[in-house]
């Protein structure tokens, strides 16, 4: 079962990806994590990617797909995997499809966690983070015991720049321009499934499970 997660930043696709991975005993693969692991382990692909990253450049799609294919060739991916954060653009999806075709493989489901922009701006604006220990909270859904103070270490909680409405708005604009077309791309292939991401987290997961069977 090979799954791609789609959805705007803050739609909750990462959380759902982890839950799918746990239930179906398949790895949750984030491209960021694979890059870091390859660079840390000093692999040839990792060193090649690092050259681009050190210059502040995007890693080319072909190299990203090479690193991804290297990861999905590992034993723990025999029963499938959940891809989170890739592909982000049509060219990336095309490179991935071609590479999978060459090894007689394909993606089974593209799951779109659909949440309106205004919900995402409100949701992310409520996030609070502890820069000291990394704990995260939400003013409505997971509030700290004492307002503005981390339960774990007692330090002050902050609204990250990434979660400020203007930043979220910009990230959503980029998402709609680059990633939204993937919804049409996978829909044309007949593998797109959309779930209502505004529902409770457990209900969203239940909807995904009913699709995956």
Determine whether 88 is an active site residue: yes
Catalytic, out of 50, 122, 164, 171:
171
Catalytic, out of 66, 71, 127, 128:
127
The string of DSSP letters for 90-142 reads HHHHHHHHHHHHHTT----EEEEEE--HHHHHHHHHTEEEETTT--EEETTTB
Determine whether 36 is an active site residue: no
- Residue 207: which pLDDT band, with cuts at 50, 70 and 90? very high
Query: Is the pLDDT reported for residue 5 higher than 90?
Result: yes
- Residue 204: which pLDDT band, with cuts at 50, 70 and 90? very high
Determine whether 71 is an active site residue: no
Beta strands in the chain (DSSP E): 2-6, 28-30, 81-84, 109-114, 127-130, 136-138, 157-158, 192-196
Query: CA nearest 6: which of 175, 173, 169, 188?
Result: 175
Catalytic, out of 13, 66, 71, 128:
13
116-138 in b/e form (b: 16+ CB < 10 A) is eeeebbebbebbbbbeeeebebe
User: Please, are residues 151 and 145 in contact by the beta-carbon 8 Å criterion?
Assistant: yes
Helix (H, G, I), strand (E, B) or coil at 196: strand
Separation of alpha carbons 107 and 64, rounded Å:
17
> Tokens 């503005």 sit at which residue?
148
Tokens of residue 193, six digits? 């499934």
Summarised one tens digit per residue, pLDDT across range 101-141 is 998 999 999 999 999 999 999 989 999 999 999 899 999 88
- Residue 145: which pLDDT band, with cuts at 50, 70 and 90? very high
Instruction: Give the residues across from 119 on adjacent strands.
Output: none
Catalytic, out of 36, 51, 155, 160:
160
pLDDT number for residue 134: 87
Query: Is the pLDDT reported for residue 211 higher than 90?
Result: yes
Residue 165 main-chain phi, psi, to 5 deg: -50, -40
Better-scored residue on pLDDT, 179 or 27: 27
Structural domains of the chain ordered from first start: 2-118+166-212 (3.40.50.300)
Summarised one tens digit per residue, pLDDT across range 57-97 is 888 888 999 999 999 989 999 999 999 988 988 999 999 99
pLDDT number for residue 113: 96
Determine whether 171 is an active site residue: yes
Summarised one tens digit per residue, pLDDT across range 161-197 is 888 999 999 989 988 988 889 999 999 999 999 999 9
Dihedral of the alpha carbons of 160, 127, 202, 153, in degrees to the nearest 10: 90
Q: How far is CA 132 from CA 136, 150, 154, in A?
A: 11, 9, 9
Catalytic, out of 66, 88, 123, 128:
88
Q: Please give the angle made by the CA atoms of 27, 28 and 34, to the nearest 5 degrees.
A: 100
User: Please, are residues 5 and 15 in contact by the beta-carbon 8 Å criterion?
Assistant: no
């Amino acid at each position: 079962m090979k799954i791609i997660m789609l959805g705007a930043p803050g739609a909750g696709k990462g959380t759902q990806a982890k839950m799918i991975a746990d239930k179906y005993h398949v790895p949750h693969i984030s491209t960021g994590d694979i890059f870091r692991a390859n660079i840390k382990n000093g692999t040839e692909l990792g060193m090649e990617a690092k050259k681009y990253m050190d210059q502040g450049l995007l890693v080319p799609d072909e190299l990203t797909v090479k690193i991804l294919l290297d990861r999905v060739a590992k034993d723990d991916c025999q029963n499938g995997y959940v891809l989170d954060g890739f592909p982000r653009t049509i060219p990336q999806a095309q490179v991935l499809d071609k590479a999978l075709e060459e090894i007689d493989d394909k993606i089974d489901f593209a799951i779109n966690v659909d949440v309106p922009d205004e919900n995402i701006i409100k949701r992310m604006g409520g996030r609070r983070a502890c820069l000291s220990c990394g704990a995260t909270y939400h003013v409505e859904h997971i509030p700290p015991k004492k307002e503005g103070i981390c339960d774990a270490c007692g330090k002050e909680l902050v609204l990250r720049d990434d979660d400020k409405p203007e930043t979220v708005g910009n990230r959503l604009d980029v998402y709609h321009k680059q990633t939204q077309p993937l919804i049409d791309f996978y829909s044309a292939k007949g593998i797109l499934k959309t779930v209502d991401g505004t529902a409770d987290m457990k209900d969203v997961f239940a909807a995904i499970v009913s699709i995956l069977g």
